[in-house]
Amino acid sequence: MRVLLNNVIHLWQTRWAFKLTLIYLLGLILFILLLPVMPLAYTPNQMDLQHTFLEPFVSTAHLFGTDQLGRDVLVNILYGARNGLAIAFIVMLLSTIVGTTIGAVAGYFGNTYKISRSLLLVIIATVAIIAYYGLYLPMQVKLQDLPVRVGYTSAIVGVAISFILWFAVRPLLRRASFLNKHVSFPADALTLRTIELVTSLPKLLILISVAAFAPPSVFILCVIFIFTYWTTPARLARAEMLRIKQLPYMEAALSLGLKHRQIILTQGLPNIISPVVVNFIFGVGSLLAIESTLSFLGIGLPPTFPSWGRTISGIRSDLSAWWLVVFPGGFLAITLLALHICSFYLLQLTQEKRKV
């Protein structure tokens, strides 16, 4: 982690382009955080039907012009930046956490981790119970408009059964000699197969088709994003973990008597983090692009959700309204460029270090 920070400081001091992009990104984030207290004349969904397709720089009320419903372009750009970056950042953060955890564990244990049959049985049973009581029943309650009491009861019952399983049934199962045998758990193979499964179809195709089946909502879209984006950090973390597992300090940590969990957290993670961070920055950019593409196509996001893509899609009803593309599109391109440059320099530095 400290290496990474040193890298950033080093780049900040030596590369002016990196400095510029970092200043831009930090400024953008600060701007977004200050958005609620800023004195803006309009809200992003406020319509001014007297002035539709107003050209930019002619009216002081709408500096960047208005779109087909008279919504102010400038305000929409600002709110679009906030929404886009918030979605991209949160989704990428969650998928990086999920992916890195899975990848690091898979890389560390490989296919040889020994697990007793009783534990395996209990884990599988718990997953099934949580799926039924924690996911299926609450979803049914929501879909069929049943009383909330039913949902609570099922959640409580689910937790209670899992507790009984772990603290009463598992010690009992241990007594049976058959269930006490250890089998190797194929963590690595399982992870690889799952990644292969998810990546067997193009990302945009999965996104579009699943977003089509569900009603448009930001939450569902985020879930699908995470489902398709965790694979890259998982693959990177696994590869890095496989590499550093051979190094002497890991062996030293093991011989010191540290637990596996401690080794992964304190020795492993800090040393596999830099490619993951580079991927994080890159992924935020790609998510920004995909989010605005989806909202441009009108798929997956509700039409009341201010986004760069929504503003740009106004061009489809009037081809001469160039300001609807140039301003948000330019903003989008500059932000993506900044993110690309950032990740490019970091990647270059880590690759140089590896060669030495």
Residues that bind other proteins (CB under 8 A): 132-133, 136-137, 140-141, 143-144, 146-147, 150, 153-154, 157, 193, 196-198, 200-206, 208-215, 285, 288-289, 292-293, 296-299, 309, 312, 315, 319-320, 322, 325-326, 329, 332-334, 336-337, 340-341, 344
CB-wise, 60 or 144, nearer to other proteins? Answer: 144
Q: How many contiguous H segments (helices) and E segments (strands) does the chain have?
A: 16, 2
User: In the bound complex, what is the minimum distance in angstroms from residue 324's beta carbon to other proteins?
Assistant: 9
User: In the bound complex, what is the minimum distance in angstroms from residue 183's beta carbon to other proteins?
Assistant: 23
CB-wise, 215 or 248, nearer to other proteins? Answer: 215
CB-wise, 42 or 331, nearer to other proteins? Answer: 331
CB-wise, 99 or 216, nearer to other proteins? Answer: 216
- In angstroms, the CA 165 to CA 158 distance is 11
CB-wise, 246 or 320, nearer to other proteins? Answer: 320
148-164 vs 117-129: helix crossing angle, rounded to 10: 180
- In angstroms, the CA 238 to CA 39 distance is 48
User: In the bound complex, what is the minimum distance in angstroms from residue 128's beta carbon to other proteins?
Assistant: 9
User: In the bound complex, what is the minimum distance in angstroms from residue 210's beta carbon to other proteins?
Assistant: 6
63 contact partners, CB below 8 Å, separation of at least 6: 56, 57, 74
Reference 110, options 206, 4, 168, 188; nearest CA is 188
User: In the bound complex, what is the minimum distance in angstroms from residue 99's beta carbon to other proteins?
Assistant: 18
User: In the bound complex, what is the minimum distance in angstroms from residue 158's beta carbon to other proteins?
Assistant: 9
CB-wise, 15 or 203, nearer to other proteins? Answer: 203
Q: Say how many C-beta atoms besides its own lie within 10 A of residue 138's C-beta.
A: 18
User: In the bound complex, what is the minimum distance in angstroms from residue 332's beta carbon to other proteins?
Assistant: 6
153 contact partners, CB below 8 Å, separation of at least 6: none
Tokens in use for 67?
A: 């779109």
CB-wise, 61 or 148, nearer to other proteins? Answer: 148
User: In the bound complex, what is the minimum distance in angstroms from residue 247's beta carbon to other proteins?
Assistant: 26
Beta strands 113-116; 182-185: pairing state: antiparallel
Tokens in use for 212?
A: 């089509």
User: In the bound complex, what is the minimum distance in angstroms from residue 179's beta carbon to other proteins?
Assistant: 24
Identify the DSSP state of 185: E
Q: Is 44 in contact with 71 (CB distance < 8 Å)?
A: yes
CB-wise, 207 or 269, nearer to other proteins? Answer: 207
- In angstroms, the CA 336 to CA 81 distance is 12
User: In the bound complex, what is the minimum distance in angstroms from residue 161's beta carbon to other proteins?
Assistant: 9
CB-wise, 45 or 293, nearer to other proteins? Answer: 293
262 contact partners, CB below 8 Å, separation of at least 6: 253
Backbone φ and ψ for 140, nearest 5 degrees, come out as -60, -40
DSSP per-residue string spanning 189-223: HHHHHHHHHHTTS-HHHHHHHHHHHSPP-HHHHHH
- In angstroms, the CA 101 to CA 269 distance is 9
CB-wise, 54 or 119, nearer to other proteins? Answer: 54
Q: Is 205 in contact with 297 (CB distance < 8 Å)?
A: no
